[in-house]
Structure 1
Amino acid sequence: MAGSIAITIEQGIARLVLSNPDRRNAISSAMWQALSSFAAEAKGRQDIRAAILRGEGEKAFSGGADISDFDAARSDASGAQSYDDFVEAACAAVESLSCPTIALIRGACVGAGAALAASCDLRIASDDAFFAIPAARLGLGYDPRGMNRLLRAFGSQGTRQLFFTADRIGAQRAYEMGAIDQLTTTAEADDAAEKLARRIAENAPITLKAAKLGIRAAESGAQAVLAEARKATAQANASADYREGRLAFAEKRAPRFSGN
């Protein structure tokens, strides 16, 4: 099956590269599974402080779900539901990572690729990037569970525009909508993502985990997530990192956080 995800971890930063260049980095079933597997494994790791998700090359973050999977996996209503469950599980797994995630977007960010980018906490895009949701041109129903992440990124009106017109939204317009946190040139995009990831990785990971859970709880209103957020906040307040942060502040030096 076409496509893979290259994963490297160095100096606290995980880098995930969607690699299916012959199909504009379309995401195959194997790639969705790789994302879920990485998220499951990363939950227990203290050495991952931030993650960058990007597409191979400069032409596309992702052209969407690999349509070559559809004849086998999405040929009828039952298959479509199973496939949607698979995609939703992968996007939810990315959202559930305890470390902050950054989508680095260049070129096309389409369909399920846009959903995956919206699953990340922050988005950096080059000025040649564009977003589109072509579901209405394919006649397929879009899983309503995925709407929340697009609404968070593009807002109500932006999401309507994406779905109702199936037209492209350029990087500048997406930036004005708040879907993109930082807009760069193509040449500057890699460096911008690396700088942001390094800045995040310097901070206390327990605090970042608690903050992510707190944000998710506020957005979703889910009591289970709120309980997790309260637990994570209490752990941060009782952590060695909190003691280190106070000491470093008093000694006027950079803190050295261990994740404990």
Structure 2
Amino acid sequence: MNLPEELSLSFDGPIATLAIDRPAKRNAFALRMWQAIPAVVRAVEDDDNLRVLVIRGAGDGPFSAGADIAEFQTVRKGEEAAAAYSEVVHEAERALATMSKPSVALIQGWCVGGGCELALACDIRIADNTARFGITPSKLGVVYHQMSTARVVETVGPAWARYILFTGELLDADVALRIGLVHEVHPVDQAAAKAYELAGTLAKRAPITLAGAKQLIARAANGEAADDEWAHRWYRASYASRDYAEGVSAFVEKRQPDFTAIPWPKLDEDGAPA
């Protein structure tokens, strides 16, 4: 896989890390970087050894200052180009948000605009206490995408979504934690270790449970809560799974379950187990 020089994908056992390394631009995303995200997601999905994706700024960050506004006058100039650019960004967001494996954003420093959009597409967000968050379309004259707006509302509720999108102002880590924008905040020297500790925990959990929970949560967030045939396909798959057999055996034998040799479930196009 050929990635732009500002992005690197590395592996440590079951954990993949996508590092953003464009320090001169505070890790702002150029068009070529957005275009690479779906390929990164596919690589993680297709590798049976991988269980979790961590996204972070290289070194001590920042996470990302957002889209590279400087290139808007070229690659985003005019109505058609702006629409095409936006579709690339939202395809990256969709790919990450709908990945069957869990993702963790490690947020240090700036997490603004498109950077915040990328972090919100991850399942879990761990921040250090220098993190600053903002979504700034009101400062650019842009109407924020419906899917991205829905993700903000799903995460912090409509009241705080209004504040964030109307003002475009930055929120500090304490406020982000209080409103549910992030799950945990840690001191600068501890945040990375905590994020990878969490990723390690996720990598040890039952694949069928994590994959199913991600699909059912997304469905519930969209207002779909029917206990229908689609849901029952997940239940039946879990009852027949190696994960279930191992979990029950481990409980009876009073030991920790070991799911590491169990492959990640494959999904049909409708998000149910194949």
TM over 0.5: yes
Distance in 1 (alpha carbons) for counterparts of 2:11 and 2:150:
30
Matching residue within 204, 207, 212 for 2:206:
204
Matches within 5 A, 1:221-260: 221=223, 230-257=232-259, 258-260=261-263
Secondary structure at the residue paired with 2:43?
helix
Q: After alignment, is 173-182 or 2-11 more displaced?
A: 2-11
- Find 2:9's aligned residue among 7, 10, 14: 7
Share of identical aligned residues, percent?
34
Letter in 1 for 2:48: Q
Distance in 1 separating the partners of 2:6 and 2:92 = 14
Q: CA deviation at 1:158?
A: 1.8
Query: In structure 2, do the counterparts of structure 1 residues 179 and 27 end up closer, same or farther at CA, with 3 Å as the change threshold?
Result: same
2:270 match = none
Deviations 1:58-91 (A, max 9, x none): 3421000122331222111111111111111101
The 8 Å contact of residues 7 and 17 in structure 1, kept in 2 or not, is answered as: yes
Q: How large is the Cα RMSD of the aligned pairs?
A: 2.1
User: Per the alignment, in what secondary structure is the counterpart of residue 256 of structure 1?
Assistant: coil
Instruction: Check conservation: 2:107, 2:131, Cα contact below 8 A.
Output: yes
Q: Report what 1:189 is aligned to.
A: 191
Distance 2:114 2:230 in 1: 28
Name the residue aligned to 2:27. 25
Query: Which residue of the other structure, out of 138, 141, 146, is the alignment partner of 2:140?
Result: 138
Q: Cα offset for 1:228?
A: 5.8
Greater Cα offset, 209-218 or 62-71:
62-71
Aligned counterpart for 1:90 among listed residues 89, 92, 101:
92
Indicate the larger mover: 111-120 or 233-242. Answer: 233-242
Deviation of the 1:149 alpha carbon? 1.2
Residues 227, 92 of structure 1: alpha-carbon distance in 2 compared, 3 angstrom cutoff:
farther
Return the alpha-carbon distance in structure 2 between the equivalents of residues 89 and 131 of structure 1: 22
Alignment deviations for residues 90-116 of structure 1 (CA, whole Å, 9 cap, x no partner) = 011111111111111111100011011
Distance 1:78 1:227, change over 3 A: farther
Give the partner amino acid of 1:69: E
Write the distance in 2 (CA, Å) between the matches of 1:96 and 1:232: 17
Give the structure-1-normalised TM-score.
Answer: 0.92
Q: Where do 4+ consecutive residues of structure 1 move more than 6 Å?
A: none
Give the secondary-structure state (helix, strand or coil) at the position aligned to 1:51.
strand
Structure with higher helix content? 1
* Residue in 1 that maps onto 2:116: 114
Q: C-alpha separation between the residues in 1 aligned to 2:239 and 2:49?
A: 20
User: Per the alignment, do residues 8 and 231 of structure 1 end up closer, same or farther by CA in structure 2, a change over 3 Å counting?
Assistant: farther
- Give 1:99's aligned residue: 101
Within 2, Cα distance between the matches of 1:137 and 1:147?
16
For 2:35, the aligned partner's letter is: Q
Is the Cα–Cα contact under 8 Å of residues 109 and 131 in structure 1 kept in the other structure? yes
Aligned to 1:214: 216
Show the 5 A alignment for 1:120-159. Answer: 120-159=122-161
Over 3 Å counting, the alpha-carbon distance change for 1:235 and 1:144 in structure 2 is same
Query: Given that residues 63 and 110 in structure 1 are in contact (C-alpha distance below 8 angstroms), is that contact kept between their aligned partners in structure 2?
Result: yes
The 8 Å contact of residues 61 and 107 in structure 2, kept in 1 or not, is answered as no
Aligned mate of 1:66, from 65, 68, 87: 68
Q: Using the TM superposition, give the Cα deviation of residue 3 of structure 1 relative to its aligned residue in structure 2, in angstroms.
A: 5.3
Q: CA deviation at 1:230?
A: 4.3
Tell me what 2:162 maps to.
Answer: 160
Aligned residues: 259
Shift of 1:166: 1.4
Contact 1:3/1:30, CA 8 A, preserved across alignment = no
Letter in 2 for 1:214: L
**1:33/1:222 CA distance change after superposition, 3 Å:** farther
CA distance in 1, matches of 2:208, 2:143: 39
